């Protein structure tokens, strides 16, 4: 099977050059620093997780493996619907080529709800991190499979310097251990992706298998493949109280209503 992740990263390198040609990073930094303070993504997630399932509800139009997920796509309405359904935070896809996302979708979603928002994209360069804060992101996703450990640490520290929270995503033991060894100024959220980004195969056991090596004190988020109340209960029973859920909700007429049922 083709390596989907490397295909995406090759495109990202082109996009980074294009972005650097449109705006100097210094100018982008000035825009970023002029934004209101981030809303506190990790804190909002923890507040929900203290009494049940803390869910990052995802706004996603399409994916490379599934194609178009939702034709009726209105980021502002989806953000409001998720908020009514009990979401702690939002995740917005901004990748255009493979997920049919856009930076404007994050801006719109954030304007329609007070919930904190994570920029979900394939971030591999400083200018993308600065751009995330410039468009209002409260948190950024960094994918361990896409970055060498030293580079992962550099980008995480930059995001923290810009007062954003950081979610570092792993999907196997070497990535988990490399992430745990990072020297960061403040703790980060540790996401375990049940979907292999190189093959897009999904198995919930990935989260359960990687839990044993994670020290106490880390906020663990299980990502991908959560589609039924039994999946949520299985993770809660294992001590995982934070979730990133998207596709199963986005296919429903009201994603917010579907979320409410999922975490009831």
Within its chain, how far is the Cα of 24 from the centroid? 26
Nearest Cα neighbor of 39 from 70, 79, 1, 74 is 79
Q: What is the rounded CA–CA span in Å between residue 126 and residue 38? A: 18
* Predicted local distance difference test score (pLDDT) of residue 217: 86
Q: What element of type H or E holds 21? A: helix 4-22
* Predicted local distance difference test score (pLDDT) of residue 1: 34
* Predicted local distance difference test score (pLDDT) of residue 195: 86
Residue with token string 């997780």: 49
Nearest Cα neighbor of 141 from 41, 15, 14, 248 is 41
Q: What range defines the domain where residue 107 resides?
A: 4-262
* pTM for the structure as a whole: 0.95
If one counts the domains in the chain, the total is 1
Q: What is the CATH number of the domain that holds 144?
A: 3.20.20.70
- Cβ–Cβ < 8 Å for 124, 147: yes
pLDDT (tens place) for every residue of the chain, 264 residues total = 358 899 999 999 999 999 999 999 999 999 999 999 999 999 999 999 999 999 999 999 999 888 999 999 999 999 999 999 999 999 999 999 999 999 999 999 999 999 999 999 999 999 999 999 999 999 999 999 999 999 999 999 999 999 999 999 999 999 999 999 998 878 899 999 998 877 778 899 999 999 988 998 899 999 999 999 999 999 999 999 999 999 999 999 999 999 999 998
Instruction: Annotate 101-158 with DSSP letters as a single string.
Output: --HHHHHHHHHT-SS-EEEES---SHHHHHHHHHTT-SEEEEEGGGS-HHHHHHHHHH
Q: Give the catalytic positions in this structure.
A: 58, 60, 120, 169, 193, 223-224
How many C-beta atoms lie closer than 10 Å to residue 195's C-beta?
19
- 3-state DSSP call for residue 91? strand
């Amino acid at each position: 099977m083709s390596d989907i992740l490397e295909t995406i990263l090759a495109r990202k390198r082109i996009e980074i050059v294009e972005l650097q040609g449109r705006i100097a990073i210094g100018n982008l930094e000035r825009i970023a620093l002029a934004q209101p303070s981030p809303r506190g993504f990790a804190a909002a997630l923890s507040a929900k997780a203290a009494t049940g399932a803390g869910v990052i509800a995802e706004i996603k139009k399409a994916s490379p493996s599934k194609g178009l997920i939702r034709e009726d796509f209105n980021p502002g309405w989806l953000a409001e619907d998720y908020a009514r359904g009990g979401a702690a935070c939002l995740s917005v896809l901004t990748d255009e080529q493979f997920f049919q996302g856009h930076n404007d979708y994050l801006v719109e979603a954030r304007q329609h709800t007070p919930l904190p928002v994570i920029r979900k994209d394939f971030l591999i360069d400083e200018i993308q991190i600065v751009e995330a804060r410039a468009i209002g992101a409260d948190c950024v996703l960094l994918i361990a499979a896409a970055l060498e450990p030293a580079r992962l640490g550099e980008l995480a520290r930059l995001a923290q310097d810009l007062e954003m929270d950081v979610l570092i995503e792993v999907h196997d033991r070497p990535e988990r251990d490399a992430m745990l060894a990072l020297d960061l100024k403040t703790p980060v959220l540790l996401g375990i992706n049940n979907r292999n980004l190189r093959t897009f195969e999904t198995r919930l056991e990935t989260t359960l298998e990687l839990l044993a090596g994670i020290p106490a004190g880390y906020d663990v988020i299980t990502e991908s493949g959560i589609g039924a109340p039994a999946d949520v209960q299985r993770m809660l029973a294992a001590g995982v109280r934070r979730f990133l859920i998207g596709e199963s909700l986005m296919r429903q007429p009201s994603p917010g209503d579907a979320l409410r049922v999922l975490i009831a």
